[in-house]
Amino acid sequence: MNDLLSLLVLGLASAAIYAVAASGLVVTYTTSGIFNFAHGAVAMVSAFVYWQLSSPDAWGLPVPVALVLTLFVFAPGLGWGIDRLLMRRLHDASPMIRIVVPIGLLVALIQVATVIWPPGELTASVPLFFAGRSVELGGVVIEYHQLVVFAAAIAVAIGLRILLYGTRIGVAMRAVVDSRELAALNGVSPDRVSGLAWALGCSLAALAGILVAPILKLDQTQLTLLVINAYAVAMVGRLRSLPMAAVGAVILGLSREAASRYDESLPFWITKDTVPALMLFVVLLVVPQEKASVFRDQPDRSSVPDPSWRTVVLGCIGLVVAALVVPAVFEGRTLDAVGYGMALSIVALSLVPLTGFAGQISLAPLAFAGIGAVVMYRWGSDGNPLALVAVVALCAAVGALVALPALRLKGLYLALSTFAFALFCEKAVFPNVDEFSQGDASYERLHLGPWTAASDRSYLVLLTVAFVVLALGVTALRRGPMGRRLQAMKDSPAACATMGLDLTALKLEVFALSAAIAGLGGALLGGWRGKLGTEQFSLLAGALPGLPLVLLTVVGGIAAVSGALVGGLALAMFPEIAEAVPALANLMTVLPGLAGISLAANPDGAVAQTVAQVGAAIERLRGQAPPRDTGPARALALLAPAAPSMVPERIAVGASAAGVDLAAVDDETGLAWGRCRVDP
Amino acid sequence: MSAAAPSGPGAEVPLLELRGVTAGYGRIQVLHGVDLVVPRGEVVALLGPNGAGKTTTLLVATGQHPVSSGCVHVAGRHVNGVRAEELARLGLCTIPEGRGVFRSLTVRENLRMASYRGVDESLLVERAVARFPRLGERLGQVAGTLSGGEQQMLAMARGLATDPALLIIDELSMGLAPLIVAELYELVAGIAREGVSILVVEQFARTVLGVADRAVIMQHGQVVAAGVPADLEAELSAAYLGASP
């Protein structure tokens, strides 16, 4: 009985933290339509800021002052800034950009926090509130900190209820969700409302971070990951309902606690670490996806480039030649990074047909690569090339298997389900292979009969040729019937269905194909590195390669094979550049996240954008293209009124510039000019 | 089209005036120099076939879409670049195409939203219920569950409760039964008699012409005819049927 009661108390205490975190997610999602992947990172950064302010080892401010500064100054400011600089640009962006930019923010925040508070040099910890004090209830000791957590969760629940239903600004927040345009037509400033919502959401994240920090070690990824548990919780309420999110929090809190308590009697894949991923996956499948989003589903306008065969083949030849030359010029770490980058490029290539052509967003390419590496370790660690066949077959099967339940998901829901899958692999699949979990799975280089790709040069050429062959295959796919079908599916699934296209089969095919390519990349990486482990394939641990790979590929241009090459090589080379030029070290650490964030401005990817701009400039030089749009300039020239009755006065409503206050309400027109100021 | 020189301070200045407005989406220009005037206290019908540029004109007039060139004037003041919410707070009331209600808010909350235009919240509900008693019975109901006609009523009630100077209505009849449309237009006529200037955008001309003081016909992003409804029969047929007048 006592046992059960203590499980209940501990479970509910974590549930309370999840509920606080999830309510922040719900608030930002409902008001902006953007799922804040960076929610956990905001919580983590806020916890660090709180530590910085309050810890006797740092600035040593009194706890209440530090709390107020973190919760009511830093976090809201951060949220407002995020909205102002990034999220506001995303209203018309495609679903992919709306997912990738917050992920960029997530990665950037973790990386910035690592730069400011280096994990190796700093052992920071946040004490419990009222540490050491507790009450006893029915034989169970409840710490004061847990009581604080309960109180905070209840206060947040009541406060949000009053705010959203009882106040005008709260109603306005909900109104903006319904229709930004209509809200504006009623005099609400949607930008101001969404800025407020982000400020509030980030404050709630900060509260969750501060409450959870004393329980965990103050660590960038641990803290971030813990708040990511709130994804599953918020999803129970379809990211909209706060009461349902609270129910989800209780379910997750209790089931995690139960899983950690009865670990022995459960199957290996149910642990306290896998429960959130499993719950997220199950909830995504069980909870019906919104039929029609209140945020108008923006069509994916990202262009799919169609390079000529000549360009592609020339590029491929150049790449192979480069692979022959590079080992003569570079050696040691740099050469190692080039090969690593080449293998990562193969993994990134798996995203080109899946996300680039078909618009199916996957965050799990490295998880599939990890599965490929595990399979290779089992059957081909001696360098037997036949094992690659097993890798391809098994990864394709797993890819299709994962896709099967996820078939009806799209956009954000699909991205989250692949996220859950990647977390699951990281927590349950990879740790289950002992050597792999210790980073000690060793691989021989591939051999074919008597010939072995023993030297670095031959193996690099092998990797490059593998990339080139796959890239040519993907290009052929793009130009063939399947490529057309994939793009048609991305443009309009409904139109495809009416034409009799079997979307189920098509999705399964492309998921299987993508998983097979990623698996091949992972398997080939084994031979290059010699040893592999979970860390190389994790989403958020260590060097957190998983999400940055997706980010950099999108930045490189996810719809082109060149984008995959850019993404893979960039991810591998950034640490090398940091090593070579110490002045750039911090920049290189933060760069993948920043690159992801930059997509808010260039949705087609920086590389594609640059190519397009250069192309347009060349055409302009040749005089073939229309001149650049000079709309604003022309408009300015025409500002002068045409008739004497018109006095052109620029009205800057609410501007603080000194202006002439007009009469409160114009008797003639009934217009309330009084609240406007006319620029002198 | 408009009176050139005012005789008194603002006496002849139209409430809304578009002058040589061009606008577009990306590289596609949709409006090619639109001139449009809504004089004080009149009902103006903006007509035209699909794709004529009516809705874009309306978006431009209400500050929801940027003007590439030309000017938009409200009561003689140049308002290019003024945001929609700022125009709304001035007293420009827009009822957008297809039920301008917040579907997930209750009727009362919908009315409450208009308080951003500077009218007291309790007064809003009082006025709306006085005009549409049916809404009074449904204050707690979620707006999305109202019938189409009731939603349109709610949208109009919310707009009118703020005593707007200019009412802009887009496609009032869209998706509604003819009987309800007739009822709503009767209402529009009543509002016009109270002295509110109204711009109605409609694709189906007949319903609105009975109410309008003047009509403007658009085609291919330009105004092709303007005047008293009775004089426009020929142009209307031409615009809709492609026949030459």
Determine phi and psi for B225, rounding to 5 degrees: -160, 150
Instruction: Mark yes or no for CB contact A669/B3 under 8 Å.
Output: no
What letter would DSSP give residue A290?
P
Residues B203 and B235 in one domain: yes
Query: Could you give the CA distance from residue B173 to residue A26 in angstroms, rounded to a whole number?
Result: 36
Tokens of A245: 């999110």
Residues B122 and B203 in one domain: no
State how far the alpha carbon of A559 is from the alpha carbons of A98, A331, A359, A572, in Å.
17, 32, 9, 21
Measured in angstroms, the CA of A652 and the nearest CA of chain B are apart by: 7
ipTM above 0.85, yes or no: no
Residues B236 and B172 in one domain: yes
- CATH 1.10.3470 applies to domain A309-604: yes
- Whether residue A283 contacts residue A419, with contact meaning beta carbons closer than 8 Å, is answered with no
On chain B, the residues whose CB falls within 8 A of the CB of A649 are 77-78
Measured in angstroms, the CA of A165 and the nearest CA of chain B are apart by: 9
Query: Could you give the CA distance from residue B85 to residue B64 in angstroms, rounded to a whole number?
Result: 9
B86 in any annotated domain:
yes
Instruction: Mark yes or no for CB contact B71/A639 under 8 Å.
Output: yes
| Bridge partner list, B74 | B16, B77
B141 in any annotated domain:
yes
On chain A, the residues whose CB falls within 8 A of the CB of B80 are 635, 639, 650
B111 in any annotated domain:
yes
Measured in angstroms, the CA of B182 and the nearest CA of chain A are apart by: 25
Query: What's the pLDDT tens digit per position in B107-149?
Result: 999 988 888 877 788 888 888 888 888 888 899 899 989 988 8
Query: What's the pLDDT tens digit per position in A658-670?
Result: 333 333 556 666 6
For residue A543, is pLDDT > 60?
no
Q: Which residue in the set A182, A642, A670 is minimally distant from B20, CB to CB?
A: A642
Instruction: Mark yes or no for CB contact B104/A182 under 8 Å.
Output: no
3-state secondary structure at position B222: strand
pLDDT at A438: 81
User: What mean pLDDT do residues B12-34 have?
Assistant: 87
With residue A240 as reference, give the H or E element that holds it: none
Domain hosting residue B66, numbered range: 16-91+164-241
Query: Could you give the CA distance from residue A23 to residue A241 in angstroms, rounded to a whole number?
Result: 9
State how far the alpha carbon of B32 is from the alpha carbons of A3, A383, A452, A636, in Å.
77, 69, 70, 17
Rounded to a whole number of angstroms, the distance between the first and last alpha carbons of chain A is 77
pLDDT class of A646 with cuts at 50, 70, 90 = very low
On chain B, the residues whose CB falls within 8 A of the CB of A187 are 85, 88-89, 114, 116-118
3-state secondary structure at position B214: strand
Residues B169 and B219 in one domain: yes
**Amino acid letter, residue A472:** L
Residues B87 and B172 in one domain: yes
State how far the alpha carbon of A643 is from the alpha carbons of A36, A638, B20, in Å.
51, 12, 12
How many angstroms from the chain centroid is the CA of residue A86?
A: 14
Query: Could you give the CA distance from residue A582 to residue A433 in angstroms, rounded to a whole number?
Result: 37
Residues B82 and B198 in one domain: yes
H-type helices in A213-241, by residue range?
A: 220-236
pLDDT at B242: 64
- Please enumerate in sequence order all residues whose Cβ is within 8 A of that of A191, keeping only pairs 6 or more positions apart, or say none: A88
- Please enumerate in sequence order all residues whose Cβ is within 8 A of that of A256, keeping only pairs 6 or more positions apart, or say none: A11, A14, A229, A272, A275, A276
With residue A465 as reference, give the H or E element that holds it: helix A456-479
On chain A, the residues whose CB falls within 8 A of the CB of B19 are 641-643, 646
Ramachandran region, residue B202 (left: φ > 0; alpha: ψ -120 to 50; beta: rest): beta
Query: What's the pLDDT tens digit per position in A235-244?
Result: 888 888 888 9
Strand locations in B85-239, DSSP E?
A: 92-95, 166-170, 197-202, 214-219, 222-227
Residues B214 and B227 in one domain: yes
On chain B, the residues whose CB falls within 8 A of the CB of A33 are none
Residues B127 and B40 in one domain: no
Q: Which residue in the set B4, B117, B165 is minimally distant from A669, CB to CB?
A: B165
3-state secondary structure at position B155: helix
State how far the alpha carbon of A607 is from the alpha carbons of A300, A318, A338, A566, A603, in Å.
18, 19, 20, 9, 11
B11 in any annotated domain:
no
A242, A645, A678, A679: best mutation site toward chain B, by most B Cβ within 10 Å? A645
Tokens of B36: 């449009």
pLDDT at B81: 82
Alpha-carbon torsion (B192, B195, B200, B206), positive or negative: positive
With residue A413 as reference, give the H or E element that holds it: helix A411-424
Residue percentage of chain A with pLDDT more than 90 = 27
- Whether residue A36 contacts residue A25, with contact meaning beta carbons closer than 8 Å, is answered with yes
B159 in any annotated domain:
no
- Whether residue B92 contacts residue B60, with contact meaning beta carbons closer than 8 Å, is answered with no
Tokens of A401: 């298997």
For residue A295, is pLDDT > 60?
no
Average pLDDT, chain A: 82
B6 in any annotated domain:
no
Q: Which residue in the set B17, B91, B102 is minimally distant from A179, CB to CB?
A: B102
- Other beta carbons less than 10 A from residue A166's beta carbon: 9
Instruction: Provide the residue ranges of all domains of chain A, joining segments of one domain with +.
Output: 2-122+140-247, 309-604
Tell me the CB-side half-sphere exposure of residue A241, using CA atoms within 13 A. 13
CATH assignment of the domain containing B181: 3.40.50.300
pTM recorded for the entire structure: 0.81
Query: Could you give the CA distance from residue B128 to residue B118 in angstroms, rounded to a whole number?
Result: 15
Instruction: Mark yes or no for CB contact A188/B68 under 8 Å.
Output: no
On chain B, the residues whose CB falls within 8 A of the CB of A676 are 86, 90
**Which of A164-168, A676-680, B99-103, B121-125 bottoms out in mean pLDDT, i.e. has the lowest?**
A676-680
Assign 3-class secondary structure to B133-151. HHHHCCCCCEHHHCCHHHH
Residues B108 and B70 in one domain: no
Q: Which residue in the set B67, B78, B104 is minimally distant from A650, CB to CB?
A: B78
Instruction: Mark yes or no for CB contact A651/B82 under 8 Å.
Output: yes
Instruction: Mark yes or no for CB contact B118/A675 under 8 Å.
Output: yes
Instruction: Mark yes or no for CB contact B112/A171 under 8 Å.
Output: yes
Residues B66 and B124 in one domain: no
pLDDT at A636: 33
Measured in angstroms, the CA of B151 and the nearest CA of chain A are apart by: 14
Assign 3-class secondary structure to A600-638. CCCCCCHHHHHHHHHHHHHHHHHCCCCCCCCHHHHHHHC
Q: How many domains does chain B have?
A: 2
For residue B4, is pLDDT > 50?
no
Strand locations in A482-629, DSSP E?
A: 531-532
On chain B, the residues whose CB falls within 8 A of the CB of A638 are 20, 69-71
- Whether residue A111 contacts residue A589, with contact meaning beta carbons closer than 8 Å, is answered with yes
B5 in any annotated domain:
no
Residues B169 and B196 in one domain: yes
For residue B182, is pLDDT > 60?
yes
Helix axes A332-349, A503-529, angle to 10 degrees: 170
Instruction: Mark yes or no for CB contact B15/A177 under 8 Å.
Output: no
B40 in any annotated domain:
yes
Query: Could you give the CA distance from residue B116 to residue A167 in angstroms, rounded to a whole number?
Result: 13
- Whether residue B125 contacts residue B111, with contact meaning beta carbons closer than 8 Å, is answered with yes
3-state secondary structure at position A441: strand
3-state secondary structure at position B107: helix
Query: What's the pLDDT tens digit per position in A382-435?
Result: 888 889 999 999 999 999 998 887 787 878 888 888 988 998 888 888 888 878
Query: Could you give the CA distance from residue B87 to residue B89 in angstroms, rounded to a whole number?
Result: 5
Assign 3-class secondary structure to B27-49. CEEEEEEEEEEECCCCEEEEECC
Residues B86 and B200 in one domain: yes
Instruction: Mark yes or no for CB contact B88/A185 under 8 Å.
Output: yes
> How many A-B residue pairs are in contact by the CB < 8 A criterion?
172
